[in-house]
Amino acid sequence: MGAITNRYEFVLLFDVIKGNPNGDPDAGNLPRLDPETNQGLVSDVSLKRKVRNYVELEKGSETGFAIYMAEKAILNAQHAKAYKAENLESVAKKLPKEKEKADALTRWMCANFFDVRCFGAVMTTEVNCGQVRGPVQMGFASSIDPIVPLEASITRMAVTNEKDAEKERTMGRKHLVPYGLYRAHGFISAKLAERTGFSGEDLELLWRSLTNMFEHDRSAARGEMATRKLLVFKHSSALGNAPAHRLFDLIHVRRRNAEAPARQYADYVVDIAHDKLPEGVSLEEKL
């Protein structure tokens, strides 16, 4: 299947109930937030990680859908697979001098690793496979309203060592957001897809990943997270028919009752200005 030939943008709405959607290691794992507005933040890296994890679950060891940035992956070892497949010897930190051979290594990485084909990768390590600019990019997600991070004390009833058996049980802290609805924007370039081979099959897998990624990411900190809406703008051309910001402005999320704090998705309304879609752009609700 060939590379996609249409440009896309998308709006992803997801929520969290009594959980920590993306802890900040620089702030004691408190939920990330904008200090000026107190809106919650979830990084693009966090969202891409969940996409990778879902693809790994669905595709397993299927050829062409390996994950480059897998947990505990050794990147030089990943690159060495390309050299072996192309019968080339690596030289420390250098690509082969012949452009054809260097391009063959990068193409092999794109063909075999979904996340390289999708998000791109800088592969200029000791075993050099070049770098790829991915067609799919995402920004930070922001909560629709300010969030109120809570901190709860917890205890552990067990101890690690026998000598501590009679001591008081360990105290700990747990951070959570009572409720937050988050909005993220994504961009898919058909022209960059030509370079990596990002196909229609890959695109459908991306949509499935975005709609299902939280279903397989349950943990004590993220017990109740869910994708609520995935709205996709499709352009009739590869370069696009309208600026992305104009399309995003057509979707407005508002509270039903501004006086009471939101505690569920039903407390919000998503307004979509279908009648203002520019010519050559269609809107599809994937969820």
d(CA 198, CA 285): 22
Stretch 236-259: mean pLDDT: 96
Alpha helix positions (H), 44-189: 44-59, 75-85, 99-112, 114-119
Residue 169's pLDDT is 67
* Chain centroid, CA 276 distance in Å: 29
CA distance 43 to 45: 5
**222, part of any domain:** yes
Whether residue 253 lies inside any domain: the answer is yes
What's residue 172's pLDDT? 75
Would the pLDDT of 105 be above 80?
Answer: yes
Q: Does residue 174 have a pLDDT over 90?
A: no
Q: What is the pLDDT of residue 45?
A: 96
For residue 8, the model assigns a pLDDT of 98
Rounded-to-integer distance, Cα 45 and Cα 54, Å:
14
Average pLDDT over residues 171-176: 81
Query: What's the whole-number mean pLDDT along residues 10-19?
Result: 96
In this prediction, residues 14-43 reach a mean pLDDT of: 93
Residues 51-93 pLDDT 10s: 999 999 999 889 999 999 998 899 999 999 999 999 999 999 9
Number of domains, the chain = 1
Given a cut of 90, whether residue 157 has pLDDT beyond it is no
Residue 204 lies in a domain: yes
164 inside domain:
no
Collapsed DSSP state (helix, strand, coil) of residue 250: coil
Q: Please, what is the average pLDDT of the chain?
A: 93
Q: Does 152 have pLDDT greater than 90?
A: no
Domain that holds residue 30: 8-152+174-285
Q: Is residue 139 part of a domain?
A: yes
Within-domain flag for 169: no
pLDDT at 197: 96
Mean pLDDT of 175-203: 96
pLDDT in tens, 115-131: 999 999 999 999 999 99
Burial of 145 (0-12, 13-18, 19+ CB in 10 A): buried
Q: Is residue 242 part of a domain?
A: yes
For residue 250, the model assigns a pLDDT of: 98
Q: How far apart are CA 244 and CA 78, in angstroms?
A: 35
- pLDDT for the residue numbered 161: 76
| Residue 109 CB contacts under 8 Å (≥ 6 apart), including other chains | 68, 78, 79, 82, 116, 121, 123, 129, 130, 132
Q: Does 91 reside within a domain?
A: yes
Q: What is the DSSP string of 117-128?
A: HHHEEEEESSSE
- 28 contacts 39 by C-beta, under 8 angstroms: no
Is 94 strand, coil or helix? strand
Query: 67: part of which helix (H) or strand (E)?
Result: none
Half-sphere exposure of 158 (CA within 13 A, CB side): 2
Section 20-24 average pLDDT: 92
Q: What confidence category does residue 168 fall into, taking pLDDT thresholds of 50, 70 and 90?
A: low
